Amino acid sequence: MKNLKIISDEKIREITGSFNLPIYVYDEKTLLESAKKVINFPNAYGLTPRYAIKALSTAVILKLFNEHGLHFDASSGYEIERAIRIGIAPEKIQLTSQKLPNNLEEFVKKGVIFNATSLFQLESYGKLFPDKNISIRINPGMGSGHVKRVNVGGPSSSFGIWKDDIPQAKQIAKKYNLKINKLHTHIGSGTNPNIWKKVAKLSLNTVKLFPDVHTLNLGGGFKIAHSDHEKTTDIQNTGNVIKDIFISFYKETGRRIKLEIEPGNYLVTKSGILITKIIDKNYTGKDGYNFIKINSGITEITRPAMYGSIHSMYIIKNNENKNKETEDTLVVGHCCESGDILTPEINDPEELEPVKLKKSEIGDHLVIENIGGYCSSMSFSNYNSFPQAGELLLKVDGNLKVIRKRQTMEQIIQNEIIS
């Protein structure tokens, strides 16, 4: 797999000599470059770029994005709480959640924007806040994604008010005198500008049904490559395609619609690596495989097991030499779980596919790339009672900053009641 080298081998060796492994490392320069691209996303009549907190929710990352002009999308009340606690203004946060928080009323009164994702949520909001503005999420009847598990649109998705239920949504809004002034949709991951073009047209056609809507949120799903067999979305090109559709809509209707987007993966994935240690090797015969076992796995990076995602990776040897010998090997995690595999077959997560890596020994290090998004925040924390890994930020000035300490056993069991 292609070696992207976001962080130098020299810096990685410095980290392996100073910190417990496994450990996440994020590159501040890459984070800021991604934020700049998103903030400059092409638009016709205004833009609010939101960061999807669920992608990586560590406080320092949220503060960094807040300071550089991003707004936020929260997927739960708990994400709202952690954002407010570090100083993010409530009015910069929008809640789009499968589950209504018990303290929704408190959040909205503070200024959090609520986006109803079902008829029940719309009714619940109406009871609490009659005569107010509301944003609603619509399932447009289509979706996109490399596997069904990342597809958040269409008939197999529970996200959003189904397109045929729009009349019921309007009846509920009328019942509570709610003004629907924002519309939200999200179809999943994709790089094809033609899909975004189709979605923008479809969504703007829905906007026609709501005369008070001034803002359309097209969600996230801007695909980012995790290995060299994938492509990263050209958001400048995609943005220009969407911009043209908004301009055409204005020419047709006289309505200037503001755009919102809410990428998560796109903002953080390329910034991160996971540094692990090779703890064992195994061989299952001529008809089997070579295995590398690392001191990490689904406890830090769940995506390969959950989605069949493939991440580029490479070996850092303790005793570097000019030997370029390689081996085909499967990489497995440290959990007592047959699904803890980091090298699934491309396009078939049920199968295995060895990767070619520099020949390694027990004690060498394996670096997994492109783990900034949906890894630390979406891991099987404490499975097999392994502690949460620590997190580092490589600052622009080259210094390392601890942004989350490694969890201790005392912290793992602190809420258990023995007697």
* Domain chopping of the chain, boundaries: 9-24+270-406, 28-268
Task: Tell me how far apart the terminal alpha carbons of the chain are, to the nearest angstrom.
Answer: 52
> Minimal CA–CA distance to 118: which of 97, 142, 94?
97
Contact 78, 280 (CB under 8 A): no
Contact 162, 192 (CB under 8 A): no
- Based on the number of CB atoms within 10 Å of its own CB, is 262 exposed (0-12), middle (13-18) or buried (19 or more)? buried
Residues 6+ apart with CB under 8 A from 54: 75, 79, 264, 374, 377, 378
Active-site choice (10, 17, 164, 336): 336
Contact 295, 310 (CB under 8 A): no
Q: Do domains 9-24+270-406 and 28-268 have the same CATH topology?
A: no
Q: Is the pTM of this model over 0.85?
A: yes
pLDDT for the residue numbered 190: 67
Per-residue pLDDT of the chain (419 residues; tens, 9 = 90+): 444 588 999 999 999 999 999 999 999 999 999 999 999 999 999 999 999 999 999 999 999 999 999 999 999 999 999 999 999 999 999 999 999 999 999 999 999 999 999 999 999 999 999 999 999 999 987 544 444 444 444 565 678 999 899 999 999 999 999 999 999 998 755 677 788 888 899 999 999 999 999 999 999 988 888 888 888 888 999 999 999 999 999 999 999 999 999 999 999 999 999 999 999 999 999 889 999 999 999 999 999 988 889 999 999 998 876 678 999 999 999 999 999 999 999 888 888 999 999 999 999 999 999 999 999 999 898 999 999 999 999 999 999 999 999 999 999 999 999 98
CATH 1.20.1560.10 fits 9-24+270-406, yes or no: no
> Minimal CA–CA distance to 26: which of 405, 303, 400?
400
**Helix residue ranges, H only, 254-372:** 265-268, 303-307
In CATH, the number for domain 28-268 is: 3.20.20.10
> Minimal CA–CA distance to 349: which of 305, 288, 293?
305
> Minimal CA–CA distance to 233: which of 187, 196, 201?
196
Residues 59, 65, 66, 70, Cα dihedral to 10°: -140
Q: Which amino acid is at 345?
A: E
Q: How far is CA 383 from CA 134, 302, 303, 311, 373, in A?
A: 40, 11, 15, 22, 20
pLDDT for the residue numbered 147: 43
**How far is it, in rounded angstroms, from Cα 56 to Cα 30?**
14
pLDDT for the residue numbered 348: 84
**Helix residue ranges, H only, 74-142:** 77-85, 104-110, 119-128
- Write the DSSP symbol of residue 209: T
pLDDT for the residue numbered 150: 42
Contact 284, 240 (CB under 8 A): no
Q: Based on the residue annotation, tell me whether 335 is a catalytic residue of this protein.
A: no
> Minimal CA–CA distance to 340: which of 383, 371, 290, 297?
297
> Minimal CA–CA distance to 53: which of 85, 23, 24?
85
Phi, psi of 417 (to 5 degrees): -110, 115
pLDDT for the residue numbered 307: 85
> Minimal CA–CA distance to 258: which of 187, 182, 316?
182
Contact 15, 251 (CB under 8 A): no
Segment holding 26, helix H or strand E: strand 23-27
Q: Which amino acid is at 308?
A: G
